[in-house]
Structure 1
Amino acid sequence: MTTIVDAPWFYWAVGVAVGLPVCLVTLTELHNALLRRDSVLARPVHLVRNYILPLGALLILLVQGMQISGETTPVRIVATVFGFVVLVLLLSGLNATLFQGAPEGTWRKRIPSIFLDVARFVLIALGVGLIFAYIWGANVGGLFAALGVSSIVLGLALQNSVGQIISGLLVLFEQPFQLGDWLETPSGSGKVVEVNWRATHIDTGGGMLIMPNSVLAAASFTNFSRPPSTHSLSVDTVFAVDDPPDDVIRMLNRVAAMLPQLRAGSAPGSVHLGAVRYSTSIPLASPADDYSAKTQFLRWVWYASRRAGLHLDEAEDEFETSERLQTSLRIIAPTLRLNRAEQEALLPYARLARYGTGEYLQYAGDVPRRMIFIVNGCVSLVAAASDGVHIPIRTLEAGDFLGQTALTREPVPASAFALDEVTVLLIKRDHIEELTARKPVLLQDFGHAIEERRASVQRALAAAGE
């Protein structure tokens, strides 16, 4: 007599009854752990737990437990669904393990999406073919042969177009540039704003340049953004042959160091190219700053060269005339309490200078050697916070002054830069000391100004939470 233990379905049924709950609990805990770690493997485990495991258990029960033939339609339907889910798991698992978790900079991370799409299509075609061949008994060999012949014919007909696409895909795979990089190509230069399987879109500043990837693959181009933090702008200038080269180089470096586009932690450099030519190398964070940095540098050099007595483009500066000096002294006379005779006496010791918009007249922490009196234009007085942000204190206009701590040999508490073109009168410390020695009230005025500026800086920093 045959017992139930000897039945062919018994062990299969017991295995499913015990194994299915254990595997479901195990996979549930594993899935929750992967979710907490935000792992890319959570989705494949979810597919196994919710679909593959139950379908596999059902298929075992139908074929082994209930002894239903695999040729019946219900079994084939369950097997087909199981095969499709396994195919989805295969695609999801390969994508998660090979590409989603790939480290930055590796070939797996750089591979173009179209390659992945083609690979998925091939796997799906093979999977569907195997399902129909082994489960439904379909003859898929003829279909694959027909597809192969059709592909050859289509490839021969479109070999030029396909060749261009493949060349472009190879460029994408190598990735010699990324979004945001600056390229110089035979057709133009600009910033890469879009890259797809067919073309690269470059913003030239005057329009959008659409470069087929096949053209880039066959041509040479320069990537100004690779390697990072190496881009520099070179600006050439011309000075008079009698200008001392060392003085010119110091002035050029000083102006370049003030540029807001200068890359953090870098320093500009200038060289004498011989005769009257000089070249200044300005490190920048991005080629996008080239135009603004060059125009601002050349504008500031125009003002700085005249203040330094140098001759940019071999030109003479005829701004400082006796009439302008007298007019300027009359403007600042109330500030210095000067009468007509004292103005005439101070005339030989005063100098006129001009600053361009954005140029700094003084930096916080510097010990001035002269006083600066504003004749025309506006100057912003600012304090620097710990994070480098400028905190406005006040705006100085005609008749105001800077550098009053030249009398006490103390650092100035605030920086000052020109809001527009500013004309100033410069008087050295010695002559200011002579004036204050004759005018004790003037010394008191400067003392009050020093204390008032220091208090203003402290109030501004306190208001900013410094």
Structure 2
Amino acid sequence: MLDEAFADGWGWWVIALAVGVPVLLVVLTELIGFLRRRQHALAGPLTLMRNWVVPVGALFALLAFAIQSPADAVWVRVVATVFGFLVILLVLSSFNVALFANARAGTWRQRIPTIFVEIARLILVVVGLAVLFSWVWGADVGGLFAALGVGSLVIGLALQNAVGGVISGLLLLFEQPFKIGDWLDTGGVKGRVVEVNWRAVHIETGGGIQIVPNATLSGASFTNMSEPAGPYWATASLKFSTDDPPHEVMSLLVELADGLPMRAVGERAGVEYSGAAAYTVSIPVTAPPDAPQALTVYLSWLWYAARRRGFALDGDATDPVAEPARLAQALDAVGPTLHLREEDREGVLEAARLERYGVAEVVLPAGVVPDEVRIIVSGRASLRVEVGDARIDVGVSEPGELIGQSALTRERTRVVTTASEILTVLVLPLAVVDDLVRVRPRLAAEIGASLELKRSQAEDALARAGVSGNTLSPR
């Protein structure tokens, strides 16, 4: 009997299945655990193989070879069909891992959208099942494919408009001219891409989600404002008066743009002069959403800066603070700070002027030797030290306090002074302040004490931030 079992071959199959299947399952389990710890994509196909392909394959081998059931038996055909279907899934899953799971960025494998892979997988599964049914069950699938072809043609003609949008979406997904998070300008819609599907692109405009059909995008031109990688340039067209010297205007435009907090690090603004007092300024910002805020701040700063320089922005150079009555009132307000006497008033009025600064505008940068002294008439100014990319607030200047006292000691400024709010200052030339200090020892002592107080406050603020006080050494 035993000789007969081995002679027929089924005995060897029983031994092979009894020993080989458990060993194979143990090996696959250990290999899957190792791959999962490494977060390798191959763990998925191996899990399918361990949980389904190997057990069903063992059952098929048991029925067909060990028990030697007839090939046309229903149970053998059912198990063969299930086993063939699982093998198709395993092969497709393995190819997906080999081709796309570890694709490097920028290669064609990485650029193919997942939906294309899924469609190709579905087609291969259908074709594989057709071949499987033809082989196992002897089914005639030729007529089925012919019917499907004719049906697809009829459905395609009936739904050509809808299908056209889907095809446009698939082609758009394949080309990938943009990705989620990019900023698009389609002419009528500008915003950030938040979703891309077969039919449409969803764009966040700041006022809601705008749905743009893929057919519209594929049939028209649009701008991907996030490409190429690097800063985005916010531009503004400006007009001055033909009496304003072009090079001085361009210097002012670049100086203001480079002082913007939204400016991209390591990039400088640019300006073009196109004649007839027309200029175009380009401001580098990190991303498109920063552009509106950058332009808002820049244009507001420019209004104040143009009037301080006497330039006619948009053909208008009038400045309310330039009125003599305003200057006299400001001098009355800061007179006690300077210990002014009546005989000093006329000379100071002739030399002084009023200036205004916009919110967050730089009044006095660090590292320069001032040639003027400013006294705050209204508003407040903040003092900060810039260490690398960090900005550390070290103090505040109130109305009546001086800005740029280091002009008297001929030292470089150690902090950056910016306007915390709309700031009005009385500007005095250094020679006028020198004359006042020379005949008023008390004023000189107060200015020296103010300098020492500001230095002490700055050192305390830096110490709290863990920054060395050497940062305040003159540059």
SS of structure 2 residue aligned to 1:361: strand
Query: How far 1:256 moved relative to its partner?
Result: 0.9
Check if 1:196 corresponds to 2:197: yes
Query: How far 1:251 moved relative to its partner?
Result: 0.6
What stretches of structure 1 move > 6 A for 4+ residues in a row?
Answer: none
Contact 2:81–2:136, Cα closer than 8 Å, also in 1:
yes
Cα separation, 2, equivalents of 1:2 and 1:75: 26
User: 5+ unaligned residues in a row in structure 2: which ranges?
Assistant: 468-475
Report the equivalent of 2:291: 290
SS of structure 2 residue aligned to 1:364: coil
Contact 1:231–1:285, Cα closer than 8 Å, also in 2:
yes
Contact 1:413–1:453, Cα closer than 8 Å, also in 2:
no
Report the equivalent of 2:235: 234
Q: Which moved more, 1:374-383 or 1:159-168?
A: 159-168
Report the equivalent of 1:406: 407
The residue type paired with residue 443 of structure 1 is A
Report the equivalent of 2:472: none
Contact 2:184–2:223, Cα closer than 8 Å, also in 1:
yes
Q: Which moved more, 1:93-102 or 1:420-429?
A: 93-102
Q: Deviations over 1:290-324 (max 9, x none)?
A: 32222222211111111122222232334323322
Alignment of 1:139-154 (within 5 A): 139-154=140-155
Alignment of 1:204-243 (within 5 A): 204-229=205-230, 231-243=232-244
SS of structure 2 residue aligned to 1:274: coil
Cα separation, 1, equivalents of 2:366 and 2:231: 30
Alignment of 1:39-438 (within 5 A): 39-229=40-230, 231-318=232-319, 319-388=321-390, 390-438=391-439
The residue type paired with residue 311 of structure 1 is A
Cα–Cα, structure 1 residues 9 and 142, in superposed 2: closer, same or farther, change >3 Å? same
Contact 1:330–1:343, Cα closer than 8 Å, also in 2:
no
Cα–Cα, structure 1 residues 92 and 138, in superposed 2: closer, same or farther, change >3 Å? same
Q: Which moved more, 1:223-232 or 1:446-455?
A: 223-232
Q: Deviations over 1:114-156 (max 9, x none)?
A: 3233223223322333343333444433333322221122122
Q: Which moved more, 1:235-244 or 1:75-84?
A: 75-84
Contact 1:381–1:392, Cα closer than 8 Å, also in 2:
yes
Cα separation, 2, equivalents of 1:88 and 1:456: 72
SS of structure 1 residue aligned to 2:418: strand
Cα separation, 1, equivalents of 2:39 and 2:204: 37
Cα separation, 2, equivalents of 1:181 and 1:64: 59
Query: How far 1:342 moved relative to its partner?
Result: 2.4
Report the equivalent of 1:32: 33
Cα separation, 1, equivalents of 2:444 and 2:2: 123
Query: How far 1:424 moved relative to its partner?
Result: 0.3
Q: TM-score, normalised by structure 2?
A: 0.90
Q: Deviations over 1:139-195 (max 9, x none)?
A: 433333322221122122223332332123212210112223233324443332322
SS of structure 2 residue aligned to 1:69: coil
Cα separation, 2, equivalents of 1:300 and 1:186: 30
Query: How far 1:279 moved relative to its partner?
Result: 1.8
Cα separation, 1, equivalents of 2:380 and 2:226: 39
Query: How far 1:398 moved relative to its partner?
Result: 1.5
Cα separation, 2, equivalents of 1:306 and 1:316: 6
Cα separation, 2, equivalents of 1:218 and 1:234: 28
Q: CA RMSD in A?
A: 2.4
The residue type paired with residue 123 of structure 1 is L
Query: How far 1:236 moved relative to its partner?
Result: 1.9
The residue type paired with residue 403 of structure 1 is G
In percent, how many aligned pairs have the same letter?
A: 45
Contact 1:331–1:398, Cα closer than 8 Å, also in 2:
no
Q: Deviations over 1:70-98 (max 9, x none)?
A: 33333333323322322332342233233
Query: How far 1:15 moved relative to its partner?
Result: 3.1
Contact 1:374–1:401, Cα closer than 8 Å, also in 2:
yes
Contact 1:9–1:67, Cα closer than 8 Å, also in 2:
yes
Q: TM-score, normalised by structure 1?
A: 0.92
Cα separation, 2, equivalents of 1:260 and 1:88: 55
Cα separation, 2, equivalents of 1:43 and 1:168: 29
Contact 2:372–2:429, Cα closer than 8 Å, also in 1:
yes
Cα separation, 2, equivalents of 1:170 and 1:408: 70
The residue type paired with residue 60 of structure 1 is A
Query: How far 1:418 moved relative to its partner?
Result: 1.3
Check if 1:454 corresponds to 2:449: no
Q: Deviations over 1:338-357 (max 9, x none)?
A: 22222333222212111011
Cα separation, 1, equivalents of 2:348 and 2:221: 65
In the comparison of the two structures, how many residue pairs are matched? 465
The residue type paired with residue 423 of structure 1 is T
User: 5+ unaligned residues in a row in structure 1: which ranges?
Assistant: none
SS of structure 2 residue aligned to 1:103: coil
The residue type paired with residue 312 of structure 2 is H
Query: How far 1:386 moved relative to its partner?
Result: 4.7
Cα separation, 1, equivalents of 2:141 and 2:244: 87
